[in-house]
Structure 1
Amino acid sequence: MAPASTPTRRRRAEGSGQDDRLNWAHFREAALGGKDARAVERELVAKLEKEFPEQRRMFRRIEAGQAQAVARLARDARLRQWIHCGPGYPMTAAAEDTHELVLPRHPRRKVLYVTDDQVIAAHSRALRKVGEPDQIRVISADLGQPEEIRRHPEIDGWLDWSQPIVLLHGDAWIHYAGTGEQAAGIMQRWVDQLVNGSYTVSTHLLRPDDETASRRAAVLTERLEGTPVDTLQFRTREEIAALFPKQEMPAGLSHDLDTRLRRGPSVQSMLDAWVVDGVGHVTESVAPEPASHWIGTDEASRITGYTKRQLASLARKGLVPSSRDPRGRYEFDPDELLELVASWKQLAAQNLKPPAPLPQPAPAPTVDRA
């Protein structure tokens, strides 16, 4: 991600089509053992592993931490729009892609991938495919220009900026080449595009206090000096907090990683201390408050034919998108709910088993013939 109008070593010449220079996305792909890594990245990773064998686990921890944050937010059916900035190559070894985590059973959700790397954009368009039409789009754009991304012709009218959006930056700030003030300024401009109820998610390297960990961090940054990926950033808690403007962070910066999301060898405790995940809830946006069109179980029962008890059961099992109001009662998106039920009826009409029993028609009223 480049500061506004400021080129970095990650940028290729305009119109070159190919980029045979090393950049962070390619380096990350090699460190994760991805199939799209090239010889130049594999050589640098192999060289670094001699002195810093933790690097592969560090990248796995970064991706798995982001996957955990995304999976938790995906439980909220109100969050129907997701923007992933700087996603890297699709389907790396450490975790699922964002759309794999958020789209199942949500036919109206959308995921936008934004990258400034033309090669990754091409890979993404080819490989990030799902059965549902037009739920995923990929655009090439400067990640530091949120206003231009919002006006991008390929997403004009596709995203609804008056509704909440989950904004993912992944590890983008870990390798950002600009200053902390520039990074905070970009995030301020991004948050100004979002309405209250939106979220931002990003992973960071926390500057270690422990002497041993500090020495190991110094080894890594020193070995990267002079290479095209020498922009590794360790930040203080205050510097990381500045990347979450106008937001509340109830969980703070999280070191914890669900053991079910750990892949491969366990991450060493030192890396757990380095890598932190942040999830911010936008609460002070200047944008107008989003309008709600969600309905309760009474109305949902009327339009679908399910009883309120059946709807609650489907919601608990995750078979229908739902949310909870402040009193804990289920709420549903009527359009998405009707679309799901219609798709289940189509399966049944083709003698295929739908994911859930279909609503039964109400019994005809009895007539007293006496």
Structure 2
Amino acid sequence: MTEQEWVPAGVDPTVPSVARMYDYLLDGKDNFAADRAAAAHIMQLSPNAKEIAQANRAFLGRAVHAVAESGIRQFLDLGTGLPTQENVHQVAARVSPGSRVVYVDNDPIVLVHARALLAENADTIVVEADMREPKAVLGHPEITGHLDFGQPLAVLMLAVLHFIPDDDVVEGLVRGVREVLPSGSYLIISHVTVGELEGDVVGEGREVYSRTSAGNLTPRTREQVAGFFEGLELMEPGLVSTTEWRAEVLDPSLAGPGGADILCGVGRVP
């Protein structure tokens, strides 16, 4: 099957998609030539791009496992991206079969693949929505019908907030999510920082992302990312690089050569 044959209606395969670029960095196959070219450019600028993408995915698995062991049976994944191995529903089900999961995304290809994967999984649904509109997402009838917001749940926002350039919008999004989370819930976030990159390299990287479907990438400081968890109880080891969050053995290959970094944390609502 050629690329053109499996492109959903309304999708321009010549415009790179951040979800498909991420899929490529994870050695996936659901990407087009434009995605691979854009990802290759990013790898030239940040030689550890593949490694931090893989470390972010590994963090997802460890974080979901940790909160599931703490008793969480409901998960809301905002900006889920293309399905790969060790998805939220797979990790959660190993700890507690029957855990309920909602994946939210607005990328047509993500929706097609996710719905095909989950067609016969009654515990997990996929909803088309834009996470930049938290009230619409959190009030979506499919989501409120699948998850009980009167009981603790975990909300994941992994490697997605940096695609929203306006700090006030990001802070409003996180605040809007936190306001509906009952005590005992968890907020799981990972976010790109500049790491070891110089300013001109960061600027060139942002230019690459300006030509993608997301339209931008905005690295934020450690202090800004820490602000997302203000008032929450951070699980150990706190706010750290994804390579360090509860990794039993630090894999030096995931640190990779110098470049950007992804900070992450898991906060509990008191």
TM-score scaled by structure 1?
A: 0.62
Describe how 1:1-370 pairs up with structure 2 within 5 A. Answer: 17-20=10-13, 21-76=15-70, 78-91=71-84, 96-104=86-94, 106-128=96-118, 133-176=121-164, 178-208=165-195, 213-215=196-198, 218-225=200-207, 226-228=210-212, 231-251=216-236, 252-255=238-241, 256-257=244-245, 258=247, 265-268=253-256, 270=258, 274-283=261-270
> Deviation string for 1:207-235 (max 9, x for gaps)?
44xxxx132x7425414415225622221
1:180–1:239 CA contact under 8 A, matched in 2: no
Distance 2:43 2:221 in 1: 26
Deviation (angstroms), 1:199: 0.4
Deviation (angstroms), 1:158: 2.3
Partner SS, residue 195 of structure 1 = coil
2:68–2:96 CA contact under 8 A, matched in 1: no
Q: Return the letter of the residue paired with 2:239.
A: L
In structure 1, runs of 5+ residues without a counterpart are 1-14, 284-370
In structure 2, runs of 5+ residues without a counterpart are 1-7
Once superposed, which parts of structure 1, at least 4 consecutive aligned residues long, lie more than 6 Å away?
A: none
Structure with bigger gyration radius = 1
1:162–1:195 CA contact under 8 A, matched in 2: yes
Q: Return the letter of the residue paired with 2:172.
A: G
* Cα distance change of structure 1 residues 55 and 67 upon mapping to structure 2, 3 Å threshold: same
Partner SS, residue 235 of structure 1 = coil
Partner SS, residue 67 of structure 1 = helix
Distance 2:25 2:200 in 1: 19
* Cα distance change of structure 1 residues 199 and 105 upon mapping to structure 2, 3 Å threshold: closer
2:182–2:269 CA contact under 8 A, matched in 1: yes
Distance 2:219 2:233 in 1: 22
Matched residue pairs, number? 255
Distance 2:184 2:92 in 1: 17
Partner SS, residue 197 of structure 1 = coil
1:183–1:243 CA contact under 8 A, matched in 2: no
Partner SS, residue 187 of structure 2 = strand
> Deviation string for 1:101-158 (max 9, x for gaps)?
101252331011011112211110111367xx51101100111223222332323432
1:174–1:203 CA contact under 8 A, matched in 2: no
Deviation (angstroms), 1:173: 1.3
> Deviation string for 1:230-258 (max 9, x for gaps)?
62222122211222254222533023141
Q: Return the letter of the residue paired with 1:118.
A: P
Distance 1:205 1:51 in 2: 14
Deviation (angstroms), 1:282: 1.1
1:87–1:114 CA contact under 8 A, matched in 2: yes
The answer to which structure, 1 or 2, has the higher relative contact order (CA under 8 A, 6+ apart) is: 2
1:247–1:282 CA contact under 8 A, matched in 2: yes
Deviation (angstroms), 1:16: 5.7
